Amino acid sequence: MPDKIIIGKFGKTFGVRGWITVHSFADPKESIVNFRPWLLKKNSQWQEIAIEANKIQHQNTIVKLQGIDDIDAAKFFTNKEIFIDRELLPKLSTNEYYWNDLIGLKVINHANEELGTVETIFNSGASDILVVTGKKKHLIPYVKNYILNTDIKRKIITTDWDKNF
């Protein structure tokens, strides 16, 4: 498993004094500011980013980064991914996984037909949804009715999902 994990992504700037919105992948979303330091990958090197201040504005997390004092400087961060050291995350119970652990896993169905690999994951409100890309794109709910087994070591998810669906 990678030692760095994506925990969010910077969005658009907020105001003219260097604030920027954050799209959090943490649960609850506002807890992203508790995982520090934030890291940004720049030219294959990790750069630490310090948060000077943070607040919730219109149900969005916004942050003021240290040394970023105007809108032009904040724009540099737009759409950049926010990483943290994996060791900062809470330990999980057996059969629990972080989304990052599932990205790139091969997905097969109960008939041993390959559906593709997990490209991304999103939450629909009712459940997490695996976006599996192969010969076609499958949106598979990550719930026990459809997920038969997740084998992180073998990098395979077995599902009860028809390849034509």
What CATH number has the domain bearing residue 31? 2.40.30.60
What is the Cβ-side half-sphere exposure of residue 120, based on CA atoms within 13 angstroms?
Answer: 5
144 occurs within a structural domain: yes
pLDDT at 84: 96
Q: Which pLDDT value is given to residue 13?
A: 97
**Per-residue b/e over 6-33, b at no fewer than 16 CB within 10 Å?**
bbbbbbebbeeebbbbbbbbbeeebebb
The last residue of a domain, from among 63, 88, 113: 88
Q: What is the pLDDT of residue 1?
A: 52
Q: What is the pLDDT of residue 122?
A: 86
Residue ranges making up the domain that contains 118: 99-159
CATH code of the domain in which 137 resides: 2.30.30.240
pLDDT tens for each residue of the chain, 165 residues long: 568 988 999 999 999 999 999 999 888 889 999 999 999 998 889 999 999 999 998 888 999 999 999 999 999 999 999 999 999 988 888 888 888 889 999 999 999 999 999 999 988 888 899 999 999 999 999 999 999 999 999 999 999 999 988
Q: Does a structural domain hold residue 164? A: no
**Which of the listed residues 88, 116, 137 is the one where a domain comes to its end?**
88
Asked if 84 and 9 sit in the same domain, the reply is yes
pLDDT at 100: 85
C-alpha distances out from residue 108 to 23, 96, 105, 142, 144, Å: 31, 19, 10, 14, 15
Domain boundary residue among 58, 88, 118?
88
Instruction: Say what the pTM is.
Output: 0.75
Note whether 84 and 47 are same-domain residues: yes
Name the phi and psi angles at 72, rounded to 5. Answer: -65, -40
